[in-house]
Amino acid sequence: MTNAYPIAWLVRHALDAPEARWLGLESANAALTAIEYRPGVPPTLVLYNDMGHLPADLRWTGFRRAAAP
């Protein structure tokens, strides 16, 4: 199990998207997501599914090679 579902829900909530939208968000294990919360302004999605800190051979979302972004 990864943290993909809780991360997707938090991103959906931060962007105030319809509840069903979290189901289409994919995220990789060990990927970074950052949401900035500041008083008086809506939340900002700073990073989503960022794998830049991982070596290239570990940047994988579980998709087939042909479907990988």
C-alpha dihedral (41, 53, 1, 19), degrees to nearest 10? 20
Least trusted range by pLDDT, from 21-25, 55-59, 63-67: 63-67
* pLDDT grade for 26, boundaries at 50, 70 and 90: confident
* pLDDT grade for 58, boundaries at 50, 70 and 90: confident
Q: Count the Cβ atoms, other than its own, within 10 Å of residue 1.
A: 5
pTM for the model stands at 0.72
Do residues 38 and 45 touch, judged by C-beta distance below 8 A?
no
Query: Is a pLDDT exceeding 70 seen at residue 47?
Result: yes
